[in-house]
Amino acid sequence: MTYKELYNEWLTSTYFDEETKKELKSLEGNDSEIEDRFYRYLEFGTAGLRGIVEAGTNRMNIYTIRKTSYGLAKYFLNNYADASERGIVIAHDNRHMSKEFCLEASKTIAAAGIKVYYFDDLRTTPMLSYSVRKLNCIGGIVITASHNPPKYNGYKVYGSNGAQIMPDVADKMLQEIENIDDLSKIPTLERVDNENIILLDHKIDDEFIDAVEKNMIRKEIVEKYSNDFKIVYTPLCGTGRVPVLRTLEESGFKKVYVVPEEEMPDPNFAGIEKPNPEESIALTRGINLLKKIDGDILIATDPDCDRVGIAVKNLSGEVELLTGNQVGGLLTEYIINGLKEKNRLPENSCMIKTIVTSEFGADIAKNLDVEVVDILTGFKFMGEKMTQYEKDSTKNFIMGYEESYGYLIGNQCRDKDAVTATLLIAEMALYYRSIGQTLYEAMIDLYKKYGFYREKTTSIYLEGKKGSEKISKIMKEIRNLNLREIAELKIVDTKDFLRGVDGFTKSNVMKYILEDGSWIALRPSGTEPKLKIYIGTKDKNDTIALDKLNNINEYFLKIVNSIE
């Protein structure tokens, strides 16, 4: 059907509720908006669904949730003999319609014949990942749009290993979803009080927190020095408040100050346009509180508590937000040396990072005799590696991270875990304080030892159908340019991951390695309507590293912006 035919069907069919019809009727005459809402079904990718909460096939609503859930159920039933009994666990955050979408998914999947476990209230993404394996489920779902603006919601799908589903599985699920051509025939239950839908209690929360706290390395430092160590924490109005505060308190941190305006769950995120700890503007209140109480560190978790950002005082005494690459390098050094000190570092240890992550942490790990494994962007690939190592015992995973503020320490999850990361970051900052250093000073010492690594990530937002087409055009034309140099630096290696290189699964990523070791990568985001450009440089002199970074960034942006 054309987008106009779909629009008219939603307006006239008795299957759709009156509120939905009223919303759609208000769009009459606005052809561009109608087209954007109905030109496709909301794309189901390797991260599941993510979109604006509105009526329409290209939006997040109960009808697209039902279609996706039924397709997912059919995939599991057709591919796993024990799917019905093992079941699927579903969690949700505090975004608009999250609870309703959770219940809708539960009723649809249960009606299809699969047992469903769901939580009575908000849960974090790492909690969902943990629960899949703990309950021996065939899969899992978390209703969240992570750090997207308030108008968005999403639907992330997990496999039995507790990691987000791999691209080949996503393709098969997508086929099942696309085979559903009549929404009115999708089975669903009237209520969740059904023997096939099980409400989980708090026992599993206690088990998760216990697993998190076992990752502490120098607990005696907390017991000895935490009395005057001040942590400012913000959950950015999301799901992190309960597990993070409980973990910090039980681990011995005595002075934790929560940003009051951002403490309680709020689907509008207290007016924060993008509740993303990568962006300093989202941490304005936290930074102000840190200054007010003269605190040691600000820690912020995003709404589904899988990413974490931190801010500390720099050498000038100004509060500075550290990058994901900087925190990853610091954690790499702290965790490996700490485990060595405690005789807890296993043989064949490895650290995992993505291909667009700085080499800062990787070089530290290698120097400390820990193997580094590169993966494509996405923690699903990290989860896949962890599952492989668990089966074949070839490596022992210690930690992994990506530049976009996602960290995983330990084996309790197969996805980003901001609860554990918060605990280890707090412990690390307190450790350096105990030896007379700030976290920033510790980072500078690492730079002096390994070189100054400088990175920059630029996001170009291109929303809607035209935006999606523009992103595709940019990627295509960049490939066709066959670049030989960038900012007067020769390209010594071009990696087109869409063709399959270095043994990786095919992925829409271009990466250029320059003659001085600098690098540039370009890829569409898998979770947001944007194109991401990553640049990394390194030099013994910080000024030179920064100059190279700025020159490369300016040069490459001119290339991208010239594509119309």
Instruction: Count how many Cα atoms sit within 13 Å of the Cα of residue 261 in the half-sphere of its side chain.
Output: 13
Contacts of 105 (CB under 8 A, 6+ apart): 65, 66, 68, 69, 90, 141, 143, 155
Output DSSP code: residue 53.
B
3-state secondary structure 149-167: CCCEEEEEEECCCCCECCH
Which tokens in the block code for residue 166? 């791999």
Given 146, 226, 358, 507, the catalytic residue = 146
Helix (H) or strand (E) holding 352: strand 349-354
Residues 316, 318, 323, CA angle at the centre, nearest 5°?
105
In the residue annotation, 146 being an active-site residue is answered as yes
CB-CB contact of 377 with 522 (8 Å): no
CA–CA separation, 157 vs 47, rounded Å?
A: 7
Beta bridge partners of 372: 351
How big, in percent rounded to 5, are the helix, strand and coil portions of the chain?
A: 45, 20, 35
Q: What is the DSSP letter of 174?
A: H
**What is 378-407 written as a DSSP string?**
SHHHHHHHHHHHHHH-S-EEEEEEETTTEE
Radius of gyration of the chain (CA): 24
Nearest by Cα to 400 from 435, 355, 463: 355
Q: What are phi and psi of 86, to 5 degrees?
A: -70, -40
- Going by C-alpha positions, the residue among 236, 246, 334 that lies closest to residue 281 is 236
Buried b (16+ CB within 10 A) or exposed e, 16-39: beeebeebbeebeeeeeebbbbbb
User: Would you please indicate which residues are annotated as catalytic (active-site) residues?
Assistant: 146
